[in-house]
Amino acid sequence: MEKEAQPKNIDDLISDFSRFYILTILYEGPAHGYSIISQFKKRVKKEISPSLVYPFLQQLEEKGLVTHTVRPVGEKERKIFELTREGRELCTRLFKRFAQLVAIAIEPSIYICAHCGCKVYDGGYREVIEDKEIAFCCSHCAASFKECKK
């Protein structure tokens, strides 16, 4: 019943990394526009234009994904943006989808240890056994593998 408010074009809205990242900053807690911009810069090591951030926040607000309250920050009054429950649910869905993408992206780099069967993404150990290069997670698995073959 409550799900019907989900806009159809939400995927267009969050079609690029910058917007996705703004959401992850908001997911961590309420933030004002300027702090979103500075956190983005600090973490992504890239400038983000206020002309992207503010209209995006406004769009999110119009869709009921974000609300704001005006609070004094230092000498200024600032709009503090916060995800609504719907906004948090959207983030959870996006994170799941993003996790799947990451899994797909790293899949070709994953190999399985010929001895213990664990998945290895980085590092690992390779040894040529009977003219074939065989991949293991570590030299101990390679040794056990040779031991088993005897």
Residue 137: CB minimum distance to Zn ion, A: 3
Site for Zn ion contains 36 (CB under 5 A): no
Biggest alpha carbon–alpha carbon distance for the chain: 77
* Nearest-10 Cα torsion for 62, 68, 69, 71: -130
According to DSSP, the residues that pair with 111 across neighbouring strands are 120
| Rounded (5°) CA angle 66-79-33 | 80
Nearer to Zn ion, 32 or 115 (CB): 115
Residue 108: CB minimum distance to Zn ion, A: 20
Nearer to Zn ion, 90 or 141 (CB): 141
Where in 115-144 is the site for Zn ion (CB under 5 A)?
115-116, 137, 141
Q: Using CB under 5 A, which of the segments 39-47, 79-87, 102-110, 114-122 binds Zn ion?
A: 114-122
Give residues in contact with Zn ion (CB under 5 A): 113, 115-116, 137, 141
